[in-house]
Amino acid sequence: MVTSDDVDAGKPDPACYLLAAAKCGAEPGRCLVIEDAPAGVAAGRAAGMAVLGLRTTYPELDAPYLAADLRDVHLRATGRSVRASIDAAPSHGRPRRAAPARRSPRGRTSS
């Protein structure tokens, strides 16, 4: 766990994500940041990590991968890694805002 007490600068500085990766022994390029705010998305990008934006707080969030909320995100542990996928259509019945289709980190299409 990394808190604001562990780093000198807050987001969008990438220090918090880089420290978390180091504590886990992971290369930043193999990490996934899940964020709901522009500063967090910018920090994840600056850290060189894949970024999944949740449109819960900022519906117009600009991230490489997008989901309406966590109900559309699925994480599956596979050995020493975790695979993420994003539902192409929300399963919870809430209408989703129209957006260009984007590819998830593992190949599923998200809108």
Give the integer Cα–Cα distance in Å for 80 and 69: 26
The pLDDT value recorded for residue 102 is 44
Alpha-carbon span 34 to 90, nearest angstrom: 17
Predicted confidence (pLDDT) per residue in 52-106, tens digit: 999 999 999 999 999 999 999 999 998 888 899 998 655 444 444 434 444 445 4
| Residue 40 near residue 2, CB atoms below 8 Å | no
What are 36's two structure tokens? 């709901």
Distance CA 59, CA 9 (A): 26
**CB–CB of 13/46 below 8 Å?**
yes
Gap between the Cα atoms of 66 and 100, Å rounded: 10
The pTM of this model reads 0.76
The domain 4-110 is classified under which CATH number: 3.40.630.30, 3.40.50.720, 1.10.150.120, 3.40.50.1000?
3.40.50.1000
Residue ranges of the domains in the chain? 4-110
